[in-house]
Amino acid sequence: MKVLVPVKRVIDYNVKARVKPDQTGVDLANVKMSMNPFCEIAVEEAVRLKEKGVATEIVAVSIGPAQASETLRTALAMGADRAILVQTTEDLEPLAVAKVLAAIVGKESPDLVIMGKQAIDGDNNATGQMLATILDWPQATFASALEVSGKKAKVTREVDGGLQTLEIDLPGVVTADLRLNEPRYASLPNIMKAKKKELAIEELASLGVDTAPRLKVIKVTEPPKRAGGIKVETAADLVSKLKTEAGVL
Amino acid sequence: MAVLVIADHDNATLKDNTEKTVTAALKLSSDVDVLVAGKGAKGVADAAAKITGVRKVLLAESDELGEGLAESMEALVVPLMSGYDAVLTPATSQGKNFSPRIAAKLDVAQISEIVDVVDANTFVRPIYAGNALETVTSSDAKKVITVRPTVFKAAADGGSAKVETIPAPAKPAKTHFVDQKLVKSARPELSGAKIVVSGGRAMGSAEEFQKVIEPLADKLGAAVGASRAAVDAGYAPNDYQVGQTGKVVAPELYIAIGISGAIQHLAGMKDSKVIVAINKDADAPIFQVADYGLVADYKTAVPELMAALTAAGK
């Protein structure tokens, strides 16, 4: 079984995004970039499927600038077999990303696409669902457990108030939630090995996909700041302030 | 223009995310209809018909709609969109599951988790865990929007719209419902609670989390939340997670206990009216957003807080 894992290069999870003074976006110059955390979980799940003997090949794919090849190298070091970079300097919207991924799926014919539920830059949580729709494949989002047997996948999903289990016919799209697994760190020997793995580069234009933006960003601003608060000395102090000053008890 | 709001409910009760989304919809148009998709959800539709400003309620029922299957929701909504210019869905895990499908099928962008409506084409939405707000204009003929309900006031009751039953779509061929395990709790739901008590990694274990956080929450009639670190460590279920990748809450009172205040956590709670932080590290970032900070070990502070609440008649 072949697994395709889309990954995205984003601002590092621990870095606070700063808005540019001219309000055109978030300042990403000289900021640490990493693989989106949910994409890491997706890669890890694919690697575990391979270790269990369920998956035979893992193809990682990223859409982005030349530097996104570093993110793909990370996926290769974690255990992906080969990688595809769809190179573009454009910042694509989820619908466009889904269309590009659908084109890659058309070329690669994977049995399963595992991807993160959301990227921590755009926070859209939409691409996986859109990809499933475009491909007319079943979807199972926000997965916290995945079991593949034959041409079926049993997926436990995080829903409001608990867990839901679905069974989907493969090929299908699964999006990873936080508790699906804990991604491994790539070992040094594996990082070295990853440098020798195949990383193909395709120009976005060569795929012939309509990626025109549908949304125009008017401005990007900082959210209003909270006014500073006060420190209280004791729990009793706190309760009295909440009661009389804040009026919330 | 006409706008369709997709109701948030559990087949038995209409959730106030619906009324809040109606408020957002009324900023777009005065022609707002509500769709209730479920199973045995007539009572929900009747409740939705009472929301002020709602023109009509559509009710569709089938097993798959009751189970909330994304494919079924999409198959139901997409044909309806010939009569609407926009569809608004509360950004719950359920809404996030199916709304992008509607957008993809209509070949339009989804405008995700809006927090403000500037005009019929222009919306404000948080990006980068709420560290930036993006104002976007959509050029699509039909708008597919998810709404962050916590920032909108619930539309009041007082309407008397008609409920119209519409046919449900055929069963999806490739997705099969197996089961659903919902946690039964006497506590209020996290996303709508007036008070939230959250615990962080400082708790150290699931037992400690239950022993410290839950009694305090119950004393205050509060919902229980947790930081991603606490969820990651297995101290609390994922459903409790407050933050960028969990739930976004904006209660009257948010009490953060043993939570350092990572960016991802602040993204989920910084719109709360009053924030209290209890942490033994005086430099913890949580104190920068807290209205009231208590620098103390939770092990002594929480019992003292419980006693002080009892003394105050709570």
Asked whether residue B236 carries a pLDDT value surpassing 90, the answer given is yes
Question: Is the separation of the CB atoms in B11 and B40 below 8 Å?
Answer: yes
Task: Look over chain B and give the mean of its residue pLDDT values, rounded to a whole number.
Answer: 95
Percent of chain B with pLDDT over 70: 100
CB atoms under 10 Å from CB of A21, counted, come to 7
Q: A32: left (phi > 0), else alpha (psi -120 to 50), else beta?
A: beta
Shortest distance, CA B304 to any CA of chain A (angstroms): 6
Residues written for chain A: 249
Asked whether residue B244 carries a pLDDT value surpassing 90, the answer given is no
Q: Are A133 and B74 within 8 A, CB to CB?
A: yes
**Chain B residue numbers touching A161 (CB-CB < 8 A):** 10, 182-183, 189, 239
For the whole model, what pTM was predicted?
A: 0.94
Taking residues A121-134, report their average pLDDT.
Answer: 97
Asked whether residue B15 carries a pLDDT value surpassing 90, the answer given is yes
Give chain B's end-to-end CA distance (angstroms, integer): 50
* pLDDT number for residue A124: 97
- The continuous run of DSSP H or E covering B95 comes out as helix B93-106
Residue B172 sits at the vertex; the CA angle it makes with B167 and B178, to the nearest 5 degrees, is 115
CA gap A69, B25 in Å, rounded: 42
Instruction: List the beta strands (DSSP E) in chain A.
Output: 2-6, 9-11, 33-35, 57-64, 82-87, 112-116, 139-149, 152-159, 162-169, 172-176, 199-203, 215-221, 230-232
- pLDDT tens profile B257-289: 999 999 889 999 998 999 999 999 999 999 999
Shortest distance, CA A34 to any CA of chain B (angstroms): 14
* pLDDT number for residue B239: 85
Shortest distance, CA A58 to any CA of chain B (angstroms): 23
Which two tokens mark B136?
């976007």
Closest Cβ–Cβ partner in B92, B228, B253 for A248: B253
Asked whether residue A6 carries a pLDDT value surpassing 90, the answer given is yes
Asked whether residue B189 carries a pLDDT value surpassing 90, the answer given is no
Q: Are B228 and A178 within 8 A, CB to CB?
A: yes
Q: Are B305 and A218 within 8 A, CB to CB?
A: no
Shortest distance, CA B29 to any CA of chain A (angstroms): 20
Q: Are A231 and B131 within 8 A, CB to CB?
A: no
ipTM for the assembly? 0.95
Shortest distance, CA B134 to any CA of chain A (angstroms): 4
CA gap A124, B245 in Å, rounded: 11
CA gap B7, B61 in Å, rounded: 13
Q: Are B132 and A98 within 8 A, CB to CB?
A: no
Number of Cα atoms under 13 Å in the Cβ half of residue A103: 20
* pLDDT number for residue B82: 98
Asked whether residue A226 carries a pLDDT value surpassing 90, the answer given is no
Closest Cβ–Cβ partner in A127, A218, A233 for B122: A218
Q: Are A141 and B70 within 8 A, CB to CB?
A: yes
- pLDDT tens profile B37-87: 999 999 999 999 999 999 999 999 999 999 999 999 999 999 999 999 999
Closest Cβ–Cβ partner in B137, B246, B252 for A216: B137
The answer to whether residue A248 neighbours chain B at the CB level (below 8 Å) is yes
Largest CA distance in chain B: 61
* pLDDT number for residue B165: 98
**Chain B residue numbers touching A138 (CB-CB < 8 A):** 71, 172, 174-175
Give Cα separations from B180 to B75, B97, B183 (angstroms): 22, 16, 10
3-state DSSP assignment of residue A41: helix
The answer to whether residue A107 neighbours chain B at the CB level (below 8 Å) is no
Asked whether residue A55 carries a pLDDT value surpassing 90, the answer given is yes
Residue A20 CB partners (closer than 8 Å, separation 6+) = A26, A27, A220
Burial class (CB in 10 A: 0-12, 13-18, 19+), B142: middle
Q: Which of A16, A117, A214 to mutate to test the interface with B (most CBs of B within 10 A)?
A: A214
Shortest distance, CA B54 to any CA of chain A (angstroms): 25
Asked whether residue B146 carries a pLDDT value surpassing 90, the answer given is yes
Q: Are A248 and B312 within 8 A, CB to CB?
A: no
For A:153-192, CB contacts with B below 8 A are 154, 158-169, 172, 177-179, 182
Residue B289 CB partners (closer than 8 Å, separation 6+) = A226, A229, B261, B266, B270, B275, B277
Which of these, A202, A146, A200, A183, lies nearest to A39 by C-alpha position? Answer: A183
Which two tokens mark A178?
């936080």
